[in-house]
């Protein structure tokens, strides 16, 4: 540490670059192998505050132009479709026996009061 020399301790470690830079082929550019190209991959030997040296890579890559109007339209349509799907996915429960409500009669504090009822899911989603 403090120099760019090899490790002079008993371990005699070789200099280590701290990180690796990972990138992958983008399937959208599978027919264009030059869509991204590594121009320079180096360590920064001038930094001596650690026995590890930071690294950097310079890439040359092709960037598509974003059609912001089309992206906004697609986003609105996807959100609308997700909202519709969510609304259709809600269960619809109806009381089959017992009418429109449940009569618990007179309720006295701290005394259990139970009733049975039959409900049916009338919605499209199984619960």
When divided into structural domains, the chain yields a total of 2
In a domain, 127, yes or no: no
In a domain, 2, yes or no: no
Residues 56, 21, single domain; the answer is yes
Q: What's residue 106's pLDDT? A: 84
Residues 49, 90, single domain; the answer is no
Over the stretch 45-103, which tens digit does the pLDDT of each residue have? Answer: 776 666 667 788 898 888 778 899 999 999 999 999 999 888 887 888 888 766 667 77
Residue with tokens 């349509």: 77
Domain that residue 106 falls in: 68-121
Residues 33, 57, single domain; the answer is yes
Mean pLDDT, rounded, of the chain? 78
**Residue closest to 45 by CA, chosen among 17, 9, 14:** 17
Residues 53, 78, single domain; the answer is no
CA distance linking residue 38 with residue 24, whole number of Å: 11
In a domain, 3, yes or no: no
User: Average pLDDT of 33-47?
Assistant: 81
pLDDT class of 3 with cuts at 50, 70, 90: low
In a domain, 78, yes or no: yes
Residues 74, 110, single domain; the answer is yes
In a domain, 8, yes or no: no
pLDDT beyond 80 at 112? yes
Q: Convert the chain into a string of H (helix), E (strand) and C (coil).
A: CCCCCCCCCCCCCCCEECCCCCCCCCHHHCCCCCCEEEEEEEECCCCCCCCEECEEEEEEECCCCCCHHHHHHHHHHHHHHHHHHHHHCCCCEEEEECCCCCCCCCCCCCCCCCCCCEEEECCCCCC
Residues 55, 88, single domain; the answer is no
CA distance linking residue 70 with residue 85, whole number of Å: 22
Residues 46, 74, single domain; the answer is no
């Amino acid at each position: 540490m403090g120099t760019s020399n090899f490790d002079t301790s008993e371990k005699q470690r070789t200099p280590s670059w701290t990180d690796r830079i990972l990138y992958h082929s983008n399937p959208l550019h599978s027919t264009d192998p030059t869509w991204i190209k590594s121009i320079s991959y180096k360590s920064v030997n001038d930094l001596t505050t650690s026995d590890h040296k930071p690294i950097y890579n310079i890439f040359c890559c092709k960037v598509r132009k974003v059609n912001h109007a089309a992206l906004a339209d697609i986003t609105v349509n996807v959100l609308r479709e997700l909202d519709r799907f969510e609304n259709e996915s809600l269960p619809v429960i109806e009381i089959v026996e017992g009418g429109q409500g449940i009569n618990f009669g007179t309720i006295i504090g701290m005394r259990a009061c139970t009733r049975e009822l039959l409900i049916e899911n009338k919605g499209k989603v199984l619960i």
